[in-house]
Amino acid sequence: MFERDKYIIWEAGEVIYRAGDPSNEAFLIMEGSVQIFTSEGLLLNRIGTNEILGETSLLLNVSRTVTAITASTGAKATRIPRQYFEDIAARDRVTGALIRKSQYRLIDSNTQSNMLGTEIERLSVLVENAINNGFSDNTAIDELRTTIARLRKQVVFDKHHAYHPSTMEGSRDDGENADNFG
């Protein structure tokens, strides 16, 4: 990283910050892109030109919640000081509350994505083991079934709301929804 004029410039593959690092500022990307990872290494997103990174930890006054690493193009950004976000929240409490709530939802979504990514990786290993053993290892098959059952309890899809996302009213009968959504 180096600074030129009012810009910060990172080379390709450079770590901007890691999950758990203290947070003092956010960044507005002017050029290039940054990849966002969980602390376990799951790629969550790519932040590009005219997008902000690092705001969550400032808005919630917590350590960095993700790791930010520049993509293959590197990145150029301007700093956004903590005070900028504090001023927005002080001027308009509703806007401040809305922004904070969105950030909590983002953290929850990142946590769930990481959990699902970890479970998918675990499932792929179990399936490979079962295939390599010719599906004759009952312990591996049982562990695979247990993992799938646990995942089904953790991930809930409400097919009624999926069919009618703009209303909370009833939807088509279950049989017809099952035909449409599997």
CATH classification of 2-89 is 2.60.120.10, yes or no? yes
Q: Which residues contact 151 (CB under 8 A, 6 or more apart)?
A: 116, 119, 123
pTM: predicted TM-score of the whole model, two decimal places = 0.70
pLDDT digits (tens, 9 = 90+) for 74-117: 999 999 999 998 898 889 989 888 888 988 898 888 888 888 88
From 46-50, 93-97, 103-107, 166-170, the region with the lowest mean pLDDT = 166-170
Query: CA 29, 78, 56, 75 torsion: positive or negative?
Result: positive
